[in-house]
Structure 1
Amino acid sequence: MKKIFLSFVVYSLVELALLIGIGQKIGIFNTLLLIVATSVIGIYVAKNKGMNSVQKVKNSLALGEAPGPAVIDTMLNFSGGLLLALPGFLTDILGLLLLLPFTRKMFQPLVFYWMRKKMKNGQFIIVQR
């Protein structure tokens, strides 16, 4: 619990420092405009890329293929759009990293590892209907 609280405080302070620093460089109005623009883009991306990724999952299931990579791709696309929608520059940077195809490929093995670990511990269950 202490680690979560401490990480939240550190994240908030870094985000605030970035907002102040960028606000001083480009101006308050431009900073607020940039935050609103990235939020709108994030919502748009989460909706459209998310739907395209869900369609890829459906297609791979219809072909009888394992949807693992498509599911991970969908999760990373949606997470990237959601992070872009949140106000702040740190979340925007992480969101962009999750949305760009060449950097998203770097996150996929980490997500596979995390899911395997959760499945092994019984904390992540896949239900087949």
Structure 2
Amino acid sequence: MAGGSAIRGSRVGAGPMGERERGESAPRQWISFFCSNGHETVPAFAVDALVPDTWDCPRCGFPAGRESATPPAAPRNEPYKTHLAYVKERRSDADGDALLEEALARLRARRGER
């Protein structure tokens, strides 16, 4: 193992990079957003940037609004539905029985059965 600097990638005389090297940063504004779980998020925006009405909460993922008294409601989570559940929404049991009898009649006719 070769000896060397404990901090890899640095050199003697290297200092922290500051405003002089990077240039002036854009003026910023910090806006508070509140979610329905009571979390507060404070992202920074450029002063001339368009601030959105909602922001996703980084802690819970719910939408957050700018008013703490009336945060946006949590999104409604629809449970996963199977293909059969969607079919049952569109058709009644009587429709299903009629379709089954029709399909069986075609199958029997094709086989030559009665």
Give the TM-score normalised by structure 1.
Answer: 0.21
Give the TM-score normalised by structure 2.
Answer: 0.23
- Find the structure with the greater CA-based Rg: 2
Q: Which structure has greater helix proportion?
A: 1
Q: Which structure has greater strand proportion?
A: 2
Q: Which has the higher contact order (CA 8 A, sep 6+)?
A: 1
